[in-house]
Structure 1
């Protein structure tokens, strides 16, 4: 009888242990990551915008303002497999076009899987990866997206019919846009935000495709580094002299050029290394500067025979009272005798540092008004 009671007790004990083990197993299984579905960078339903290269192994992103978009449904999480050359590349993750709710993400050096967004509903969602950082001559490589196993890839949105393109320096790049208002100016990577710069704002207002070739510190005749815009404007990869852009693949309706800010400083700095490299010991003449600008606009015209070209300056000290640089642009435009080349100079912001969010919006409002007043888009 005693043996029988012991057997029953042992059976109850073992049954309880079995239940505990089974419950633990179910708990662990529930907490395991769900099986995923990898979407290659070559998937035909992925949309790209900007000078982006689709290679045999990945999508390469160089210029600020470039973006990659994927429409999905039935996935809680969207991840991206990224290999960045540096550890200071910043992007926006924009869900369903809600830029005001965009999440900033930093890509570190090396190949990693990054979670772009989680806790999505099963409905349709538009996921956009937008480069807000500077064109820093480094490359971000995207290998694809990792989604939930049952995810559905949807048709991409039709690209807008209108097309606009910008060539510029730090102002167009969005240098310092995200600096706190009570802080000093800074060129740190985390403070760039091309999405909030006047060019991107203008493009979104007109629902236009947006291409941006800008880099902080670049000039037309001289920069703070060896390259000048006329040497890289025709490149797919701005860091590769042999990488050429196919201009026939994107023919903008409007091209906006906002350069000369860096030239205006460096031409008065004969001891600066880049001054010496470009000009030797002799300061460039006004005629040289004007001719260089006219030649650059002619180069753009040769690529875009039908585009309206707007030559702008500002909104930093280059447009303050007494500046000669607006007259250089006006004289170059007059020399070209091209009815589809015009000039507009942004209002001088009369404050220190680079334009912040409100000043970028001011520039966008001025440019939008100029385009609408002149009926460049009907």
Structure 2
């Protein structure tokens, strides 16, 4: 009898099932709502947002293609479990349970766009609770157009592994900067995309609801953008001349300006990865258009990989946020970034005391699978609560923008688990990706014992007898390695001397 009574009670628990057409649901991104009972999206970064009173909720979603991934946010925080596989077909997904009683905000983010399928919303279910009025609309709208970098390839992997489980959108620089500025965003990006002239180009897909279908077209009046960021051009250099790429920028900008007549457009490109990189001449593209609502932004691509991971995107986001604040003071940063800045700034390294970590686990010093471990030990850390342990033969490194003649003063704290030797190595690379200048390499052996000691260095960036600036040093990579026994590292600091030569690049 007790068992039957329990079944009766469970069956009688009220469930508030919300239709996808309910106005209390917010659809962010590019959603087709022509069928109000089954709205769908395709592009990564699209989301459903709602508020409810209760302790748990679920959703029914249909995925018409191959496995994708979604991410759940509760009260603005991504769940620590990470992404959830979005299986093919119609399925129920538990969004949260056992929350503290009260009002909560939930967001379902489509993290990936891997195949030809679409994600349909079929229902929101709230047992023993009720849906509330929607959250207030975000004050700012940003649209991003990009290639594999913005599509989140290898976002959760430091070694350029683009397996689908490592991809995402929420922690790309598009998602990060949108949250910093309290904005809604669209991420219209595709791996391998060029500017124009190919089926996979910004000119081809910028106005699509679904990359794989010409119809339906997106109605830009549904999301009047304040800011439009174009991160395209890298995939064009292997098949087109600089003049042809400039032409394609002009064609794409004409169409983007027509679609976003009042938006500030940012041409955003990386530098330091190719002698033919578009960052060499996007300033000319901007200057010739005489558009006061168009600007150019560049950022360093000095890491070893073809795609950035989360902390690299943190650096891109901080760079973009700072740029936008100079364009319009109202576009200032309102919220602290939820991914730390992985870029070297003002001559210093990023995260030199290892106190910060990206959501996927990386901490700005590559590679965390190369015999290095963050150790939490507030009593033993010289600076903060963490230090880095390098196992025997373990190594780590980080790049720093550098130009000939610049002088850096550096220091770091080292110790060994027994008396041993560490090695510091300075590697200089020119503008071409993965192109070291072997003659400039410098190796420094350091004896360490079981007590922390501070090591000081002064470094002057060499200048080669080269008229072509692209063959001069563009970056300095600081390597640390252990020999036959583990070592500990902390409090790495670099200071570029103010009286030294300053770079005028970018």
TM-score, with length taken from structure 1: 0.81
Alpha-carbon offset, residue 130 of structure 1: 0.7
Contact kept in structure 2, 1:92 and 1:102, CA below 8 Å: no
Alignment partners' CA distance in 2, 1:368 and 1:136: 31
Aligned ranges for residues 238-317 of structure 1 at < 5 Å? 238-265=211-238, 267=239, 284-314=240-270
**Residues 26-64 of structure 1: per-residue CA shift (max 9 Å, x gap):** 344456684523211001100011111113230101111
Decide whether the 8 Å contact of 1:91 with 1:105 is kept in 2.
yes
Aligned to 1:335: 288
Q: Which runs of 5+ in 2 are unaligned?
A: 332-506
Partner of 1:171: 149
8 Å contact kept, 1:163–1:252:
yes
1:123 Cα offset (Å): 0.6
- Are the aligned partners of 2:42 and 2:113 in contact in 1 as well (CA < 8 Å)? no
CA positional deviation for 1:222: 5.7
Residues 66 and 114 in structure 2, CA contact (< 8 A), matched pair in contact too: no
| CA distance in 2 between partners of 1:371 and 1:85 (Å) | 38
Aligned ranges for residues 27-176 of structure 1 at < 5 Å?
Answer: 27-29=6-8, 34-56=13-35, 57-74=37-54, 76-99=55-78, 101=80, 103-134=82-113, 136-148=115-127, 150-176=128-154
Q: Could you tell me whether the CA contact under 8 Å between 1:219 and 1:229 is conserved in 2?
A: yes
Q: Does the C-alpha gap of structure 1 residues 36 and 326 become closer, same or farther in structure 2, counting only changes over 3 Å?
A: same
1:211 aligns with 2:164: no
* More strand by percentage: 2
CA-atom RMSD, angstroms?
Answer: 2.1
SS of the aligned residue for 1:187 comes to coil
The CA deviation at 1:114 is 1.6
Question: Structure 1: which 4+ aligned runs deviate by more than 4 Å?
Answer: 27-33
Give the C-alpha shift of residue 327 in structure 1.
3.0
Aligned residues: 330
* In structure 1, distance between residues paired with 2:187 and 2:141: 11
Partner residue of 2:177?
Answer: 202
| Cα distance change, pair 55–374 in 1 and its aligned pair in 2 (3 A) | closer
Distance 1:33 1:221, change over 3 A: farther
Q: Is the 8 A contact 2:196 2:204 kept in 1?
A: no
Is contact 2:41–2:209 with CA below 8 Å preserved after alignment? no
Q: 1:355 aligns with which of 280, 302, 308?
A: 308
Deviation at 1:118, TM superposition (A): 1.6
**Is the CA contact 1:371–1:377 (under 8 Å) kept in the aligned structure 2?**
no
Give the CA deviation at 1:256. Answer: 0.6
* SS in structure 1 at match of 2:210: coil
More helix by share: 1
Deviation at 1:136, TM superposition (A): 3.9
For the Cα contact (< 8 Å) 2:66–2:117, is it kept in 1? no
Partners of 2:143 and 2:58 lie apart in 1 by: 30
Rounded to whole Å, the distance in 1 between the matches of 2:259 and 2:122 is: 31
Measure, in 2, the Cα distance between the counterparts of 1:343 and 1:210: 20
TM score, norm. by length of structure 2: 0.62
In structure 1, C-alpha distance between the alignment counterparts of 2:228 and 2:261, rounded to whole Å: 11
| SS of residue matched to 2:83 | strand
Is contact 1:63-1:213 (8 Å) kept? yes
**Aligned-partner Cα distance in 1 for 2:22–2:294:** 39
Q: Which moves more between the two structures, 30-39 or 111-120?
A: 30-39
Structure 2 SS opposite 1:172: coil
What is the deviation of 1:321? 5.9
Conservation of the 8 A alpha-carbon contact between 2:237 and 2:277 = no
Deviation at 1:311, TM superposition (A): 0.2
3-state DSSP class of the match of 2:295? Answer: strand
Aligned partners of 2:231 and 2:203: how far apart in 1?
Answer: 13
Higher relative contact order (CA 8 A, sep 6+): 1
Q: Which residue of 1 aligns with 2:405?
A: none
Deviation per residue, 1:51-110 (Å, 9 max, x gap) = 111132301011111110111113x33111111022321111100101364642111111
Output the CA distance in 2 between the equivalents of 1:311 and 1:333: 8
Q: Is the 8 A contact 2:196 2:252 kept in 1?
A: no
Structure 1 CA distance for aligned equivalents of residues 203 and 326 of structure 2: 30
- Can you list the C-alpha shifts for 1:327-361, whole angstroms capped at 9, x where unaligned? 34233222222121111111123312311111110
